[in-house]
Amino acid sequence: MASTARIVQLNFADRSFPASMVDVPRRNLPGSEWVRIEVAAGGICGSDLHLFNGATGPAQALSGYAALPMDLGHEVAGHVVQAGARSGIAEGTAVAIDPVIACVARGIKPRCAHCAAGRASTCHNFGSRVTTPGMGIGFTSGLGGGWGDEVLAHGSMVHVLPPSLPVDVAPLHEPLSIAIHGLMRQPPANGDPVLVVGAGIIGLCAVAAVGSLFPASPITILAKHAHQGDAARAIGATNVVMRHDDGRHLDELADIAGTVVRGRADGRMLAGGFPYVVEAVGTAAAVTETLRLADGRATVLVLGAAGLTTVDLTPVWFKELAVVGSFCHAADGDEHSIDRALELLAAGALPADVVITHTFPLEAYRDAIAVAMDKSSGAIKVMLIP
């Protein structure tokens, strides 16, 4: 094993680009419950792109939860090449990684109230800096990442792949698990119509998750780009509505929901709407529109990771909406959201040939980021292959 490993770091060393690929010394396992994983593939997430496109994200509130330099890449799968004696994982095992580094992984005792209850996604100790300075893989330093040769992970963060699931497809578990965990936070009634606003990877994962977990629910998705709409149809959306700047998509959505449009100009809103709406974009316009498309007393699930922004909250009180937030992954009920995601991937619920549109070698990370940011490229999920 070489003494160094490559990693793409957010380090601002190059004035022309915030990330650089560097060689770092291979770190020893932090403990006997940890493993070393050789990365087979790492996905580029929309939240990663916020670091490169200047978009306003939740940076201020989360400033104490990340590290600089930051080892990038939180959508990760690979093979265990070194296993601590108490990790419970055999060397050679193909695995996916839960990027969240909570109490158990940090060795914190007693665990915080949320970790003790199995809710690691809301761990109180993400910002503790115990073991590692950041809240998770892809947001910390010293442990590697999906945009690199290797990752160190605690055994509690490791999920064994189903035998039929190719390891280079498995990083799709991460966005799919996000959608599953969100839906399980406050599930729709099976049979209730579901609207998904946004047809990027999170929106498409929401379609796949609803279709598998709540098969009686018809799914409508609001898409911005034609290739996203095509992907949504392939995954199983009942209705695909294309968004138009002049707002005429509201009339089509009203017809599907069996309601009418009220208001004028930029204030138009559905009088009724959809009983369950998933926000999967994260922009101010998308959040505002999502609230306006919900039915009275509907559930609005916010998956788009919106940060500091200005949103019209009128529908929240006017329609008596229940707004549900969701972050990352957790054990929901009797099964972890990542294990559910791996099962659905193995069953073909989110076809890799539909959503993985581009792959790049690790050293071409700048080109990969450029393609992922340019939706005219047809990109949905871009993967880096070390």
CB 319 within 8 Å of CB 294: yes
Q: pLDDT value at position 57?
A: 47
Q: Is residue 197 part of a domain?
A: yes
- Are 113 and 15 in a shared domain? yes
Q: Is residue 162 part of a domain?
A: yes
- What is the residue range of 78's domain? 4-168+351-385
CB atoms within 10 A of CB 352: 16
Rounded to a whole number of angstroms, the distance between the first and last alpha carbons of the chain is 15
d(CA 216, CA 192): 8
- Are 161 and 257 in a shared domain? no
- Are 16 and 154 in a shared domain? yes
**CA neighbor of 96 nearest in space, from 149, 42, 40, 161:** 161
Q: Is residue 339 part of a domain?
A: no
Which residue, chain included where needed, has tokens 């926000």?
279
Tell me the pairing of strands 381-385 and 356-361. Answer: parallel
Q: pLDDT value at position 56?
A: 44
- Are 49 and 120 in a shared domain? yes
Last residue of a domain, one of 325, 342, 360: 325
Q: Is residue 337 part of a domain?
A: no
Q: Is residue 283 part of a domain?
A: yes
| Beta-strand runs (E) in the chain | 4-14, 17-25, 34-44, 70-71, 75-83, 94-97, 150-154, 158-160, 194-197, 219-223, 239-242, 261-262, 269-270, 274-279, 294-302, 322-325, 331-332, 335-336, 356-361, 381-385
Q: pLDDT value at position 70?
A: 95
145: CATH: 3.90.180.10
Q: What is the DSSP letter of 100?
A: B
Q: Which two tokens stand for residue 137?
A: 């893989």
d(CA 299, CA 370): 35
d(CA 144, CA 24): 9
Q: pLDDT value at position 322?
A: 98
- Are 260 and 113 in a shared domain? no
Last residue of a domain, one of 325, 343, 372: 325
Q: pLDDT value at position 60?
A: 61
- Are 12 and 137 in a shared domain? yes
**What's the Cα-to-Cα distance from 276 to each of 11, 143, 244, rounded to whole Å?**
41, 39, 22
Domain count, the chain: 2
- Are 187 and 318 in a shared domain? yes
d(CA 386, CA 384): 6
- Are 59 and 119 in a shared domain? yes
List residues bridging with 80 in a β-sheet.
Answer: 37
Residue by residue, DSSP assigns 121-187 as GG-TTTTS-SSSSSSBTTSBSSSB-TTBSEEEEEGGGEEEPPTTS-TTTGGGHHHHHHHHHHHHHSP
Q: Is residue 94 part of a domain?
A: yes
Query: Please, what are the averages of pLDDT over each run of 10 residues along the chain (386 residues)?
Result: 92 92 96 98 92 62 83 98 97 98 97 94 95 95 97 98 97 98 96 97 98 98 97 98 95 98 93 98 93 98 86 96 95 92 98 98 97 93 97
Q: pLDDT value at position 61?
A: 64
Q: pLDDT value at position 111?
A: 97
219: CATH: 3.40.50.720
- Are 226 and 192 in a shared domain? yes
Q: Which two tokens stand for residue 74?
A: 């939180």
- Are 89 and 119 in a shared domain? yes
d(CA 194, CA 148): 37
- Are 262 and 213 in a shared domain? yes
Last residue of a domain, one of 283, 308, 325: 325
Q: At residue 235, what are phi and psi to the nearest 5 degrees?
A: -85, -20
Q: Is residue 108 part of a domain?
A: yes
d(CA 327, CA 65): 14
Q: pLDDT value at position 280?
A: 97
Q: Which two tokens stand for residue 174?
A: 């991460």
Q: pLDDT value at position 294?
A: 98
- Are 270 and 301 in a shared domain? yes
Q: Is residue 338 part of a domain?
A: no
**CA neighbor of 240 nearest in space, from 270, 220, 215, 216:** 220
Whether the model pTM is above 0.75: yes
d(CA 199, CA 176): 13
